[in-house]
Amino acid sequence: MEAVEDLERRFETKHIGRQKKEKFPTGIKPIDAFLRGGLISGELMVISGGPSSGKTALAISCALRNAVERNRPASYYSLDLSAIELVRRFIANGANLKYLKLLKGNFAEADFPLLTDQASKLANSRVCLAETPGISLVELWAMVQKQKLRFNTQAVFIDPINLLGEGQKPGIEANLKRLKEMAVELQVAVIALCHLPKEVADSLDSEEINFQDPLSARFRGDCDLFAFLSRPYPAKTGVERLNLSIYHGRKGFLGQASLNYDASTGRIASLKVPLHTPLSQ
């Protein structure tokens, strides 16, 4: 019986591999400019940063702009947020409503049309939101494979990879290697978020990442793109700036860009497009 199931899985993944490679625009102009339109199926992108640096907000913005606005199928697996909190963040971001309003229920009358419209769009979109605490990589792979075969999922968001297989402690390097294998075999774009300790994030923020040091070597071998987010002047209200540095897994530094970030709603928008040469594909 196991041999039959293994044969079926191999047939399914071969069928997936023969499908035409598709591009998945992130919806963030600086990133898409570097990639000439977006991530290609089979690629792995790591979005890293320190605590509260805007990683989840950036990932949700990418998922929303594709699944809701462009009707592209995507899956978002959260390992540290509950399903209801994840839905609240998606609605707050899409409707440009303050997250605390959703959390406390303090709505003005004018907010209801925005809230109901965005909730309806999210419900009818092709995004799968999953609360997956403690999920193993094997379980994640099986879920992604089902989503790919059933809905032709183009992108998979994992938030964060630090908690993937919690309790087994496989390490970030091992997780990235397997995620890259999953991206290639299932022909999906994988966007993995990685929490960095504050002291590590501060050291990376002070200078360009040296791809020869031990920390950078953890990402160089398996990820196609490495994005580092820093938040120079955190603010509780109002729009602030995020710095985005983008690196290619083998070629190194590609460039930097600034993003507008509204922490109260979680919305991210391009402030300045990069001046560096886009990545040729």
Distance CA 187, CA 179 (A): 11
Q: What is the pLDDT of residues 197-223, one digit of tens each?
A: 777 667 666 555 554 444 455 555 578
In this prediction, residue 169 carries a pLDDT of: 53
Domain positions in the chain: 22-272
Per the CB < 8 A criterion, the answer to whether 29 and 40 are in contact is no
With 80 as the cut, is the pLDDT of residue 31 above it? no
- Best CATH choice for the domain 22-272 from the list 3.30.365.10, 2.140.10.10, 3.40.50.300, 3.40.50.1820: 3.40.50.300
In the chain, % of residues over pLDDT 70: 77
Tokens read off for 112: 């209801």
The whole-chain average pLDDT of the chain stands at 79
- State the maximum Cα–Cα separation within the chain, in Å, rounded to a whole number: 60
* Antiparallel, parallel or unpaired: β 225-230 and 239-248: antiparallel
Q: What is the pLDDT of residues 133-154, one digit of tens each?
A: 989 999 999 999 999 999 999 9
DSSP characters over 6-68: HHHHHHHHHHHHHSPP-EE--S-HHHHHHTTSSEETT-EEEEEESTTSSHHHHHHHHHHHHHT
